[in-house]
Structure 1
Amino acid sequence: MWVCSASPLVAEICAGSGLDWLLIDAEHSPNGLEAILAQLQAVRSYPVTAVVRPPVNDAVLIKQYLDLGVQSLLIPMVHTADDAAAAVAAAHYPPLGIRGVGSALARSARWNRIPDYLARASETITVMVQIESREAVENAAAIAGTDGVDAVFIGPSDLAASMGLLGQQEHPDVVAAVEHCITVAKAAGKPVGVNAFAEATARRYLEAGVDFILVGADVALLARGSEALAAKYIPEAGPGTTASY
């Protein structure tokens, strides 16, 4: 599930739920470096995989995330193989990439308490790239085949928007594009994931072979749950009543 609240407490509650993995999101959520660090610390003792999504495919930001101790990255808006290669390069030290060296200062190396961290860091890092545009679908095979890309994730919301179908993630053309990307990623031997909040759609993509999936979000569960309580216990507002913003 998504963790978008920027709250270590909420992240810890979600980490103890029995779910397989959490996506700590900084693209559409108020997550800065300090908040991400606190959430990583909060979920560390639970049997859950923490994936972090930066707001942009940026080498400096990726370096900072990795130094915080992020080990699984989901890079958004990867449209081409060159974009994918840039994400991979940002995540690895030379000669494999361009990651800046600051292990003595960083939680990732436990401040140089991890033996041979510089030589072994690449073994601990997973780079997932997000296909979420018409252009990316057209380049899906090249993106999935990029050396160092460990997995592909498909974002139907932005994909639908790029296809002129804003808000229509269930449109047959969007579903077909998603399923095409699943097939392409499988052919490349890469794990593939997708975002699908509607259960019927999630089940369809699972049957299509996705390896991992996002099926909910902390903020959405809180919003819908609190609305359900209000509907159950509070009479409908009368005419002229203005809701707060």
Structure 2
Amino acid sequence: MFNLQKITDKIAAGKVPVGSHVGFDSPFLTEALAGCGFDFIWIDAEHSAIDKKDIQNHLLACRAAGVAGIVRVPWNDHVFIKSVLDMGADGIIVPMVRSLEEARTAAAATHYPPNGVRGMGTRRAVNYSMWDKAEYTANEDKHIWTIVQIEHVDVVKDLEAIAALPGISGFVIGPNDYAMSMNTQEHRYTAASPEAKSEFDRIGEILRKTGKPFGVSGAYSEQFVKDWLGRGANWLCMNFDFNYIVNGGKAVLKGTHETLDALGQAY
């Protein structure tokens, strides 16, 4: 049935759920990645060309594989969020939230009245009414993650207030965009800059005190995992579908060239 609880149960048990991103339109990539053992798939509708039908196909693959399907929507738009939730998404990640008011808008989009503005059209979300619709609508926060993405310096001042909002499940940090938001005419920052790392330490400290789970999205490295677990991250989302294709292709080509070199064969 609903798959979000597989993530939240892990977090409650002190374990670290690990997911991966997809941005291509093929649900077969989601099926394959889920089969690798990831706990969830982050379906990225912000920085990709996928449309609503593609999102639905990815969610079909997630449900078939028994993993949670979390959709990062293009923007804080309740109309788009409504349709994605009705497709059966296990959670929504709202990008570039910069204020308490924007977070309040996101929470409203994922909740039914009187707690929000989501329209009633559950359909696939409750397996076409074969699951308990009344239970689903009465326990939105149990079945749907409403995640605020921290990727701009403006939001830090409001983090504690956002965490206290009813309907906000947690947070995810986008290190690259956050570092870019620190840029000035005089200085350009990257996620590896000491100043950015200091900001991430501060964010981790604030979020740990709120008690709300938070995660991070990025490219895998041993140091990346160590850094963010040290800051208190509860979950990780590592690498995109294209990373596996490109890295795998490079590895095969490199190995083949090394073998050809050893044989004295030009290429």
TM-score bracket for this pair, using the shorter chain length: 0.7 to 0.9
Q: 1:140 to 1:166 in 2, by over 3 A?
A: farther
Q: Residue 9 of structure 1: CA displacement?
A: 0.4
8 Å contact from structure 2 (residues 111, 167) kept in 1: no
For residues 185-244 of structure 1, the C-alpha deviation after alignment (integer angstroms, 9 at most, x for no partner) is: 111110011123232122111122110012222111211221232334359xxxxxxxxx
Q: Is 1:120 the counterpart of 2:143 in the alignment? A: no
State the partner residue of 2:265.
none
Could you say which residue in structure 2 is the equivalent of 1:191?
A: 213
2:59 — aligned with what?
A: 40
Give the drift of 1:100: 1.1
The runs of 5 or more residues in structure 1 that have no matched partner are: 236-245
Letter in 2 for 1:111: Y
Normalised to the residue count of structure 1, the TM-score between the two structures is 0.88
Q: CA deviation at 1:179?
A: 2.0
**1:13 to 1:167, Cα distance in 2 relative to 1, 3 A:** farther
In the alignment, what sits opposite 1:169? 191
Match of 1:201 among 207, 224, 231: 224
Q: 1:223 aligns with which of 246, 252, 258?
A: 246
Paired residues of 1:157 and 1:166 also in contact (CA < 8 A): no
Do the aligned partners of 2:41 and 2:62 also contact (CA within 8 Å) in 1?
no
Give the 3-state SS of the residue equivalent to 1:215 in structure 2: strand
Q: Root-mean-square deviation (CA), in Å?
A: 1.9
Out of 236, 239, 243, the position equivalent to 1:213 is 236
Check 1:119–1:28 CA distance in 2 against 1; reply closer, same or farther (3 A cut). closer
Say how many residue pairs are matched.
233
Distance 2:147 2:206 in 1: 15
Question: Match of 1:82?
Answer: 101
For residues 163-194 of structure 1, what are the alpha-carbon distances to aligned partners after superposition, in whole Å with 9 as ceiling and x for unaligned? 11767111111112122112211111100111
Identity of aligned residues (%): 32
Q: Is contact 1:137-1:177 (8 Å) kept?
A: no
Distance 1:231 1:167, change over 3 A: farther
Q: Secondary structure, in 3 states, of the residue corresponding to 1:45? A: helix
Answer with 52-61 or 123-132: which moved more: 123-132
1:146 CA drift (Å): 2.1
Q: Distance in 2 between matches of 1:102 and 1:2?
A: 27
The alignment partner of 2:64 has SS state of coil
- Is the alpha carbon distance of 1:68 and 1:52 closer, same or farther for their aligned partners in structure 2, counting shifts above 3 Å? same
Which runs of no fewer than 5 residues in structure 2 stay unpaired? 1-19, 259-267
Amino acid at match of 2:127: R
The answer to whether the 8 Å contact 2:171/2:214 transfers is: yes
2:41 is matched with which residue?
A: 22
After TM superposition, the score normalised by the length of structure 2 is: 0.81
Which residue matches 2:7? none
Within 5 Å, which residues of 2 pair with 1:60-79?
A: 60-79=79-98
Amino acid at match of 2:39: D
